[in-house]
Structure 1
Amino acid sequence: MKKSGVPTSPPPGPQAKTPWPRVETEACARCGAPLEPADRFCPACGAVHQPPSLPTQARRTFQETITCDNCGATLHIRPDQRSYTCEYCGSTYVLDFAPELTGRQAPEFVLGFAISPNEARQLFLKWMERRVGSAPAAFQEAVRRADIRGVYIPFWSFSMLAESQWQATIGEYWYRTETYTTYQNGKLVTKTRTVRETEWWPLAGKYHQYVSGYLVSASRNVPQQVADRLIPFHLAGLRRYDPAYLAGWACEEYVVDRPEAESRCKEYFRQYQEQCVAAFLPGDTYRGLVVDTQFSQEASDLILLPIYVMRFDYAGKTYRVWMNGQTGAIAGEVPRFWGRWIIVGLIVLAALLALGFLVTRLWG
């Protein structure tokens, strides 16, 4: 475990030379070239390589406390949290846990915040005003006092080859002229009209492409339906993970493991693949489309994305709103206040009834 900003111990004195540690290798499943455990791709043929998981017995004991370098206070730490603030002096720390310490994959990329906390608060207040501008004063005060935290949330990003076999019934339109009789001005007349017909014929084929770009939330605090409303993030700004990026910000560890996230991602890609096949089909229409998709060459990245979490309490209930820390997109559920609108409606209705009564008395 590394604590940012803390110098490492001085090198020890002269010692006897020790042999280089032996690096265990394995063969590429596709071409047989030797691979090191850290290799994610075969250097010879480019095939995806998933490093073996670390055995449980190889993990070191987790250290549960650290000492603040500024004031000497003891800070309790957890393996599911990377950033901390000393409660006594305000010093911030970012802990970089080695994978063999926790048995968890380290982040590979991070995307920085582009919106400051003050800007996030103003955007949040404007967003709330548009939705609940007529809310009671107590609710508006609760919104103004909302707790706003910038948090780096872990996401899984996958890329893979999607290969689909499909079959459907394709329809092509053709038109014919039809003669018919009808009554017009009390007389029987003959007219013509154009009628559209559909010719159906079966078709089957294959469709394949590389798919990527879907982000799966690895946090229970940011449900996937919320994450889908915060997307897109401009991933061109991703940087290789460095603990320094997290200084001063909260950061969550992932709780959705890679297999679970991959399953969610494949379900999304299956639906996307079906949409692509439907758009690819010839003809004017179709029916009975069946798409069977298999995936291969899966690769994944664990990335940290910037999200603001707004939290406030009202009438015994806690409300949360989320904001994309790069684009300002906002998602969240807020209460509906119908009482004031009902009162306004009743007042308007009473005014209209009174006006109608006066008009009747004057002109009746």
Structure 2
Amino acid sequence: MTEAPAFEQISMTEEHRFPCESCGSDLRFEPGTDLLSCDHCGNQQQIEHSAGFRGQAVRELDFRRAIKEGLSEFDMAEIQTVTCTNCGAHNEFDADTHAAECPFCATPIVTGTGVERQIKPRGLLPFHLSEKEARQQMTDWLGRLWFAPSGLKAYARKGRKMSGVYVPYWTYDAQTQSDYTGQRGTVYYETRRVSVVVNGRRQMRTRQVPKIRWKNVRGRVARFFDDVLVLASQSLPKKYTDGLAPWDLSSMQPYRPEYLAGFRAEGYTVTLEDGYAEAAEHMNRMIERDVRFDIGGDRQQIDHISTDVGTLTFKHVLLPVWVAAYKYQGKTYRFVVNGRTGNVQGERPFSKWKIIFAILFGLIVAAIFGYMVAHGQNNGTFPNGNFNLEWLD
């Protein structure tokens, strides 16, 4: 048996560590730049790219071949992941980390020594926002929420730092061709005489009554789906991750471990097959829309659609998310910030005291207004239900 090259045996967590040339400390990626920075001595190193790296396309993998035959060693990697018992996140940690907090829910977790084989990421979007910028986006978002607890706002503003996490996604490309049968409906109007009652007298009037003329149709539509994005993690509610869209996938870069230096990466928990099942649902909705457009007319009925999927490829990609989990008054609040655009999503906190105060204030205002109306009517200052403004002088 031929021995695999040595670099294939290096785990992804080990690949994420880059020593400083000056002091030997671990470097971290500086968001929004192509630099690795050392927090210990301040040294900065340029991330070296090969010629044409910026315009290099992210390589796709054949879906059917991956399912039937599996992937080569080059496309697989061993990662050390720890599953959070609270939210189910698959967190990656360095080999020398033995205890930490889950960045998604703030639950203490103890790391193990087990490793897991997963498909390597083919591309990523590097972080563009720094932790400070992401925190400001989050506190601004909290500040715009009605009835949010002031204590939580202050805690989020001054509390511990947010965690930068690369969240796993699948993307799918598919060339589709769909044959359909259905009916096209054309609306037309018939003039009818109807009996109506006008001023107590029955009269005959003419009215235009809508009708639909149906015609059997058949046809074919084709569509190429490019980068249908599916979340490959179950650690965050889908409504939050969906709310982080849109992602500038056109800026996707080939995977470089330097961009993960100083950040965490989550292993995928949604399998390649399950991810495609979700992508197929999205594709089917788009195909149905195409069919309705192709049928035309005023109304459409679809009897049957048969779709042939030709070339089908996929890739595992990492997208940057700043994550915060704050425990406030016995409850954990989670917030996520798009590491590229600053879009914020999170659990909506409410202050019961602010709500009670608002209700009481509303009742007091209503009572005062009611008293003024009643007092004005008793003194004749509101004739005919209209205010007499003379009493304001």
Structure-2 change in CA distance of 1:155 and 1:247 (3 Å): same
Distance 2:320 2:77 in 1: 30
Unaligned residue ranges in structure 1 (runs of 5+): 8-37, 42-46, 65-78, 88-100
Deviation at 1:55, TM superposition (A): 9.4
Residue range with higher mean Cα deviation, 301-310 or 336-345: 336-345
Rate the CA distance shift 1:232–1:61 in 2: closer, same or farther, 3 A: closer
One-letter amino acid of the counterpart of residue 319, structure 1: Y
Tell me what 2:380 maps to.
363
Alignment correspondent of 1:323: 337
Contact persistence 1:179–1:191 (CA under 8 A): yes
Structure 2: any 5+ residue segments left out of the alignment?
1-9, 21-58, 82-89, 99-114, 382-393
* Amino acid across the alignment from 1:315: Q
User: Within 1, Cα distance between the matches of 2:174 and 2:201?
Assistant: 69
Cross-structure match for 2:356: 339
Which letter does structure 2 place at the counterpart of 1:343? Answer: L
Aligned pairs for 1:1-364 within 5 A: 1=10, 2-3=14-15, 4-5=17-18, 40=61, 49-50=65-66, 52-53=69-70, 81=92, 102-132=116-146, 134-145=147-158, 147=160, 148-180=162-194, 182=196, 184=198, 191-337=205-351, 338-363=355-380
Matched residue type, 1:249 = F
Conserved in 1, the CA contact under 8 Å of 2:186 and 2:213? yes
Distance 1:125 1:310 in 2: 11
Say if 1:80 and 1:254, in contact at 8 Å, map to a contact too.
no
Q: What letter matches 2:187 in structure 1?
A: Y
* One-letter identity of the residue aligned with 1:175: Y
Aligned pair count?
Answer: 299
Q: Provide closer, same or farther for how the CA distance between residues 320 and 290 of structure 1 changes in structure 2, counting only shifts above 3 A.
A: farther
TM-score after normalising by structure 2: 0.66
Identity %, equivalent residues:
26
Tell me the SS of whatever aligns to 2:225. strand
Deviations 1:140-197 (A, max 9, x none): 3333345522211111100112232323232101233344454556666654443322
Cα distance 1:50–1:190, how it changes in 2: closer, same or farther (>3 A)? Answer: same
Q: Measure, in 1, the Cα distance between the counterparts of 2:171 and 2:184.
A: 35
What is the identity, as a one-letter code, of the residue corresponding to 2:316?
A: L
Is 178-187 or 194-203 further displaced after alignment? Answer: 178-187
State the SS of the aligned residue for 1:199.
Answer: strand
Give the match's secondary structure for 2:144. helix
| CA distance in structure 2 between the aligned counterparts of 1:235 and 1:198, rounded to whole angstroms | 44
The whole-number CA distance in structure 2 between the counterparts of 1:84 and 1:126 is 37
Q: 1:186 to 1:297 in 2, by over 3 A?
A: same
CA distance in 2, matches of 1:39, 1:160: 11
| 1:296-324 CA-partner distances (Å, limit 9, x unpaired) | 42100111111111222223111112121
Q: 1:183 to 1:266 in 2, by over 3 A?
A: closer
> In the aligned structure 1, how far is the partner of 2:328 from the partner of 2:259?
34
